[in-house]
Amino acid sequence: MPELRPPARRTWAGEPVPLPRWPDDGIGGLLDLALAADPARKLGGVRLRRVPSAGGRYPVEAHVVVDDVAWTYDPFTHALAEPREGAGNGVVLSLVPSRTTWRYGPRSLPVLLLDLGHALAGFAGAEVVVGGVAPASRAEYPLAMTGSVHIGQMPELSAPGTPLIDAALAELAGLTPISLPKSAPVGAREVLARHSAPWPVSGRVPQDIADEVLAATNGVEAVLVEPADHPELAAALAARSCGQPEVADSGALLLVLGEVEPTAEQALRTHVLAGMAVHRAWLRATAHGLRCRPLGCWIDVVLDLGRRRRLVHALAVGAP
């Protein structure tokens, strides 16, 4: 519904507060490594950021909370803007579903949660512990990050076309916080170098490196398959990959799996943790110079791998 498309970025009154970039070891360096728009990368008029987002929608917002005042982070100018009342100290992530729902409709909820997981892993990759309580804001769903993540109180939204997403997020609001898994840290070079490679992502991945990439997904159920060795599975996945037939020619496919009919709590945990796991694997692959492409859109893919499992998220990996 193009008429419902929200602006790609916000604008604020008043003077922004510019932040230093990496290797600054404060909040400027953290946000630069984790979420900033990459000055060198643009695709179809979209300034690409450090973390992926389905269709370049970028529904995840960041807020810096200092001494009970929350500042909204602008990833384009790498600056803080519009202070408002908040609580605590740290960095808070929130979701703006309308940026995604205008295009993807009821398919948006899994994507929103995967994007959140990628953003969380972006912060974890920057090797900084952050936390805080999100300021409430119209059309935003605040999420707190303090070694766990939970969805806070839901503000009432009036934007058309989003009731299914609103209802689902509201149902998830009261669930138990997610314990975020630890992973081996990577350097700033890998954090800055990660980006979604264009197709094709092909070429054999050495077995020892493939094992290392799979191990980086600790905390989720995942397998790594080579399409060349499993052509029927690769063809079936390509047919349900939201128009990406190149999936079948990937060097390797990291598949994150979940319950076929998940409860609300299982869906929340599976998708957020899947986004984090794929991002960690992506960083590990980047450390070895491999090309990668996250794959978040799947059309009802259920696999029989000894027992029936739903495909939640994936990462195509290819040779350097």
Spatial CA neighbour of 275 closest among 17, 9, 100, 54: 54
What CA–CA distance (Å, rounded) separates 108 from 320? 32
| Least confidently predicted of 105-109, 124-128, 230-234, 265-269 | 124-128
Three-state secondary structure string covering the chain: CHHHCCCCCCCCCCCCEECCCCCCCCHHHHHHHHCCEEEEEEECCEEEECCCCHHHCCCEEEEEEECCEEEEEECCCCEEEEEEECECCEEEEEECCHHHHHHHHHHHHHHHHHHHHHHHHHHHHCCCCCCCECCCCCCCEEEEECCEEEECCCCCCCCCCCHHHHHHHHHHCCCCCEECCCCCCCCHHHHHHCCCCCCCCCCCCCHHHHHHHHHCCCCCEEEEECCCCCHHHHHHHHHCCCCCHHHHHCCEEEEEEECCCCCHHHHHHHHHHHHHHHHHHHHHHHHCCCEEEEECCCCCCEEECCCEEEEEEEEEEECC
What average pLDDT does this structure show over 14-39?
88
pLDDT tops 90 at residue 231: yes
Residue 29 exposure: Cα atoms within 13 Å on the Cβ side: 11
Summarize the confidence of residues 154-175 as an average pLDDT: 63
The pLDDT assigned to 178 comes to 74
What per-residue confidence (pLDDT) applies to 153? Answer: 39
Q: If you average pLDDT over residues 240-262, what whole number do you get?
A: 96
pLDDT at 45: 75
Query: How many other CB atoms are there within 10 angstroms of residue 189's CB atom?
Result: 10
- Rounded CA separation 38/23 (Å): 15
Please name which of 281, 318, 55, 256 lies closest in space to residue 190, comparing C-alpha atoms.
Answer: 281
Report, as an integer, the average pLDDT of 190-199.
Answer: 89
Output the CA torsion sign for 237, 240, 242, 244: positive
**Biggest CA pair distance of the chain:** 59
Structure tokens at 35: 């979420």
Whether residue 194 is predicted with pLDDT greater than 70 in this model: the reply is: yes
pLDDT tens digits, one per residue of 48-102: 889 888 778 888 888 887 777 778 899 999 999 877 665 556 778 888 888 888 8
Cβ distance 173 to 151 under 8 Å? yes
How much of the chain, in percent, has pLDDT values that exceed 70?
84
Q: Which residue has the higher pLDDT, 184 or 248?
A: 248
How does pLDDT run across 280-293, given as a tens digit for each residue? 999 999 999 999 99
